[in-house]
Amino acid sequence: MSDRQSEAARTELKGRQLIEPGDFTVAELESIFELADRIIADPEAAMDWARGKLMASLFYEPSTRTRFSFESAMMRLGGRVFGFDDPTTSSVSKGETLMDTAKVISCYADIAVIRHPREGTARLFAQSVPDMPVINAGDGGHEHPTQTLTDLLTIRHLLGSCGGHTVGVCGDLLFGRTIHSLVKTLNRYPGNRFIFISPKELRMPEYFLSMLPEGSYVETDSLDDVIGDVDILYMSRVQRERFVNEEEYIRLKDVYILDRHKMKRAKDDMIVMHPLPRVNEIATEVDDDPRAVYFKQAKFGMYVRMALISKLLGVDQ
């Protein structure tokens, strides 16, 4: 990216909102990753960027990594955080509308992060406060943009670029908002090819496949058959909370378990990613393999959120 493009990306991101990765151009995404690289190289340089700024952290459903990484990101930038992780402790329990909550929060905070189980809620919240930076921390639909930024930074940092890879995506491809968001965004980078690995009950939705270029993906139900072909293996858990039928969940939850034996078939420079939390789809014996990068990935999530918050607040130096 040229200096002119970098400067334009920096200027254009101040005050913006991130509801889905498509809200930002590839050049703007790259400007975030460049800033994240700077922060990784020298975290202390960013420790006062957001001093005096307040972030509202509004989590309407449980979260560990996403909530903690956002809050630690803001605090490492020198800012402060307020909010809730249980909506019953807020005026929502009294019947306050989401739009009114958004307008009230905008009176106090400089930036807001919202996670909600209902699809479209983050966008509705953002539309209610168009002059305030709002970040979607995951909703009940198919978007989890900051997990996508985390994943892209991990790939870029470890493999050199976000393009030109064979990406194996394994597990729950039907309900996985993290996966849908990542594949859509990786599809914007040149040269990526996808291998979708799932049982037929959890295949990628047809409408989603129709958005991908012809010939850019294949589908299979066998991890063993394709693990040697991938540069990136992105594992995901079968999400119990998305199932109505408990028996169906129990039948499918152990379909794919990545273990040391399967890793022997993989490339020496392949990386294994996972958005976490895992259940048992990756055996703990894999954790010591240098190709297993999911805990590094979690840390990159904090750094990329530091960069994103800085960009949206316009405090990046």
264 is in an annotated binding site: no
Round to whole Å and give the CA distance between 242 and 141.
11
- Judge whether 279 and 254 are in contact, CB under 8 Å: no
Containing 76, the helix (H) or strand (E) segment is: helix 65-76
Q: Residue 65 corresponds to which amino acid?
A: R
Residue 94 is assigned to a ligand binding site: yes
Contacts of 29 by beta carbon, 8 Å cutoff, 6+ apart: 21, 149, 152, 185
Q: Which of 312, 317, 304 is nearest to 13 (CA)?
A: 312
Q: Which residues, including other chains, have CB under 8 Å from residue 2's CB and lie 6 or more apart?
A: none
The answer to whether 165 is annotated as binding is no
CB atoms within 10 A of CB 68: 14
Known binder of ligand: residue 177?
Answer: yes
Residue with tokens 């966008």: 123
Neighbours of 263 (CB within 10 A): 19
Ligand-binding site membership of 284 (annotated): no
Tokens of 82: 């307020």
Tokens linked to 49: 């960027």
Rounded distance, CA 275 to CA 229, Å?
21
C-beta atoms surrounding 77 within 10 Å: 26
Q: Please tell me whether 237 is known to bind a ligand.
A: yes
Known binder of ligand: residue 147? yes
276 is in an annotated binding site: yes
253 is in an annotated binding site: no
- CA 53, 58, 60: angle at the middle one, nearest 5? 175
SS3 state of residue 124: helix
Q: How far is CA 39 from the centre of its chain?
A: 19
- Supply 208's token pair: 């989603």
Indicate the annotated binding residues.
Answer: 65-66, 94, 115, 144, 147, 177, 237, 276-277
Indicate the annotated binding residues for L-aspartate.
Answer: 94, 177, 237
Indicate the annotated binding residues for carbamoyl phosphate.
Answer: 65-66, 115, 144, 147, 276-277
